[in-house]
Amino acid sequence: MTVACDQERPKPKVRLAAVTSEDRMTRDSWLILIVVCIAWIFDAADGTIFSLTMPLIREEFHLSQSAIGLIGTMFLAGATLGSFTLPIIGEKYGRRWGMITCVGMYSVFTGAIGLAGSAMTVGIARFLTGIGTGGEWPIGATYLAEVVPPKKRGFWMGIMQSGYPLGYFLASVIFATVAALGLGWRACYFALVLPALIIIPVVSRFKESQTWVDRKNASDADATKVWRTREGLSALFATPEDRKATIVASVLHITLGVYGWGATIWLPSALVSDFGATSGQIGSVFIIIYAVATVGYLLSGWLQDRIGRRWCIIVCLMLGMTAVVGLNVLRWMDAPSMMAVFGLAILLGFAQSTNTPLITYTSEIFSSKNRSMGLGFSVASGKVAAILCPTVMGVIADYSSVSTALFYSTLFGWLAIPVALWGKETAGKTLA
């Protein structure tokens, strides 16, 4: 549908996404869901490709472990910056142009890694790629949240999040294919230019979120205030309701970010050092985790529409906590069973789906004028924790064990429970 607004001076015409009913997806909503999900797939594939090609990059440029680790940190730093800054584009020019900017950035600079002639070029390209991927999460989630039916928003957001495990799988296929053809690691990055070629032409023809356009047309004064970064940040703390939303969303992303890094990123090290797992066993554990996670993202989307966003976060979090406690119990046994570890991997797979209610809740909790900026700020806060987490956990592991470090990161995740209960439930909320 098209909405026309009388205005004192001419403004560019903006196409609107058709209004959804309470239970029905429109054609425009379906298209936006598909494209955002594709963007999620390539986002996950980008990070996974770097992990897979790290040894090859390190060998070609004769880098130390610390140097290649610094490149990884540069990516996280870029993602943090992008989460905070690029949502400004989503607020000023619309969700469509925000998505186009993010996808364009991470596609172009990922491709640039394939042309890199030095480690410094790789690092700079990873930093700029991080900016694009960091901005995509808050902008894409906001765009989708505003165009799907509110009664089943959690389910559709779950489908969006299921793009992540598919991205991990896609990266593995690309890497294996390139290796089989003997094309070299650079070809992996050339392949990831595809998102720009697929998504940008399609998104440029999409209709804009009606929620965004209604707010933009409501008042010229309001429409200019949020464009400045400083004033946009101030708006997140302008009223008691704004402050509470910002605090709840930010603390959830921080605590669950630390928990997530512990439960997944350091798990291979724990399996090797504490359980003596072979490469094949580690691979099997992660196949289980990501296969279950794919189903878990969809189930958690359905569940959060029935029990609420906050309780769904808590349920998913408790599954992960149970698994980490179980790993620590197994570690003290004389002959820990890998079959028991495989069983705990199932719980960890379902725990991965914590991200579904998290991104849904923190995209709904903010008012329309702060939604993209607020989600970006809270995501950026979580990424700062992600930058610091590996170092802190490494120190704990040096003095104790990797499983103990996982346990402490899980304890930190417990802080998310009272914060989630303090927040206001948003399930079924109509975004305006």
16, β-bridge pairs? 208
Q: Read off the tokens for 140.
A: 């894409």
412 Cβ partners below 8 Å, 6+ apart? 255, 258, 259, 262
pTM above 0.95, yes or no: no
pLDDT for 419 = 93
Gyration radius of the chain's alpha carbons: 21
**Which residue ranges form the domains of the chain, and what is each CATH number?**
27-212 (1.20.1250.20), 232-422 (1.20.1250.20)
Q: Helix (H, G, I), strand (E, B), or coil: what is residue 364?
A: helix
Q: At which residue do the structure tokens 């390190």 appear?
A: 58
Q: What is the pLDDT of residue 127?
A: 94
pLDDT confidence of residue 363: 84
Tell me which residue has tokens 């719980």: 347
**Residues contacting residue 397 through CB under 8 Å, at least 6 positions apart:** 266, 269, 273, 404, 405
User: Which tokens is 191 given?
Assistant: 């392949």
Q: Which amino acid is at 45?
A: A
What is the sign, positive or negative, of the torsion defined by CA atoms of 176, 177, 181, 184? negative
Spatial distance between the Cα atoms of 85 and 229, rounded to a whole number of angstroms: 8
Q: How far is CA 121 from CA 375, 388, 394, in A?
A: 30, 24, 28
Beta partners for 417?
none
AA identity, residue 333: M
pLDDT value for 126:
93
What b-and-e string marks burial along 326-345, b requiring 16 or more CB atoms within 10 Å of the CB? bbbebbeeeebebeebeebb
Q: Which pair of tokens denotes residue 327?
A: 């790993």
| Segment-wise mean pLDDT, segments of 10 residues, the chain, 432 residues | 45 48 76 88 84 84 80 85 86 86 89 91 93 88 86 86 83 85 90 82 82 70 48 77 92 87 69 78 81 87 91 92 86 80 89 87 84 84 76 74 76 88 86 68
- The residues with which 208 forms a beta bridge, in sequence order, are 16
Going 310 to 311 to 314 to 316, the CA torsion angle's sign is negative
pLDDT at 192: 87
